[in-house]
Amino acid sequence: MLQQNTTKRIGYWLLHLHQLFDESTARALSVVDLNRRKWQVLHAVSIKVDTVAGIDDAFAPFLAADRAVSYRPVVDEFKACGWVTENDGAITLTESGTAVHDRAESLINAHAAEQLAGISEAEFLAANDVLARIAANVEKQEKQ
């Protein structure tokens, strides 16, 4: 049997880790006035996820966790800060948005190095693969 007789099974660790990531990422990014979700949106725009619909699709599980309908308010906040422009629905980083992204990415990379200390790339990729397969199994079961 894969699950031990414990109250701290995979669901516990996933939720606990999610909460820890949100809190620790917010602390790491506080100097650039971002939290985890805002960083994710800013980074998505930097890698050419350039519409609100695309951002919402990419982060659909986070929308559900945040009890939000869309990340439109984050994009609008970035527009008000001058970090992005939006033309015909296409979102692009401005020069100042790129500068904030680059600073935040440096902070995130340093933060991730601390979070993943002692974990090899192979272990990280294996864990990610296992979680993706569990999610696929649950999604398949839900469709039945």
What is the DSSP track for 60-123?
Answer: HHHHHHHT-S-SHHHHHHHHHHTSEEEETTEEEE-HHHHHHHHHHHHHHHHHHHHHTTT--HHH
* Number of residues that this document lists for the chain: 144
**Stretch 104-130: mean pLDDT:** 96
Beta bridge partners of 93: 84
Round the average pLDDT of the chain to a whole number and report it: 94
In this predicted structure, the answer to whether residue 47 has a pLDDT above a threshold of 90 is yes
Q: 144 falls in which pLDDT band (50, 70, 90)?
A: confident
CA distance 96 to 94: 5
pLDDT at residue 33 tops 80:
yes
Phi/psi region, residue 84 (left: phi>0; alpha: psi -120 to 50; beta: rest), is beta
> How much is the average pLDDT of 82-93?
97
Gap between the Cα atoms of 21 and 26, Å rounded: 8
Give the C-alpha separation, 113 to 117, whole Å. Answer: 6
